[in-house]
């Protein structure tokens, strides 16, 4: 019976991982190389993530240094960063690109916490939909006489327990990100 739950817990785990990925791309006052994950450059006709075209370092808390392996794409990388939603103007010395992150204003921090809470709520909605799907699956099994009514009740309790655990994990993840954003 527990193997029946694996599919649903895997989906809940995947939803949580998607949330963590989305939160990783939100700037929280510190320079985080994951901010560059979604930025691509046209490299010989193929859109390629900057992270695959350059050495990326964080020498200071508020700075990212991008050193492309092929210096010919330096201007393409700069253009891609300027067109992204990072809101940072890259500095270029001919060999490396420096992204200097200004400290976040209080107003911007509050906006970011609202975005984080919204992402968390979307993840909780996804988890609840997975719960609903799981309960429906077990109800169909009960209707088809594959499981008993008692098995159905026990399954619903177990599914609710998994759901509550994942909702709690989402809350902790959101809380940690908000603390990171509000930290000065």
- Where does the chain hold its CATH 1.10.132.20 domain(s)? 8-25+105-182
Give the pLDDT band of residue 1 (cuts 50, 70, 90): very low
pTM: 0.71
Strand 63-68 to 91-92 pairing: unpaired
Scanning the structure block, which residue is given the tokens 């210096």? 71
> What is the biggest distance separating any 2 CA atoms in the chain, rounded to whole angstroms?
71
Report, at the CATH architecture level, how domain 8-25+105-182 is classified: Orthogonal Bundle (1.10)
**Overall size of the chain counted in residues:** 184
- Which helix (H) or strand (E) is 75 found in, with range? helix 74-83
CB atoms within 10 A of CB 90: 19
Q: What is the CATH number of domain 33-100?
A: 3.30.1360.40
- Where does the chain hold its CATH 3.30.1360.40 domain(s)? 33-100
Predicted confidence at residue 3, as pLDDT, reads 63
């Amino acid at each position: 019976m527990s193997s029946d739950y694996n599919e649903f817990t895997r989906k809940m785990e995947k939803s949580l991982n998607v949330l963590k990925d989305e939160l990783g791309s939100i700037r929280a006052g510190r320079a985080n190389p994951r901010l560059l994950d979604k930025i691509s450059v046209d490299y010989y006709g193929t859109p390629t993530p900057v992270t695959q075209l350059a050495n990326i370092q964080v020498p200071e808390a508020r700075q990212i240094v991008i050193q492309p392996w092929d210096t010919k794409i330096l201007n393409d990388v700069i253009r891609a960063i300027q067109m992204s939603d990072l809101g940072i103007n890259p500095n270029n010395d001919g060999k490396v690109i420096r992204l200097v992150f200004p400290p976040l204003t209080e107003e911007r921090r509050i906006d970011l916490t609202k975005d984080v809470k919204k992402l968390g709520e979307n993840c909780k909605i996804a988890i609840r939909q997975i719960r609903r799907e799981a309960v429906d699956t077990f109800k169909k099994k009960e209707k088809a006489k594959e499981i008993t009514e008692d098995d159905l009740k026990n399954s619903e309790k177990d599914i609710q327990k998994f759901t509550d655990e994942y909702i709690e994990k989402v809350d902790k993840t959101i809380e940690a990100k908000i603390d990171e954003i509000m930290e000065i």
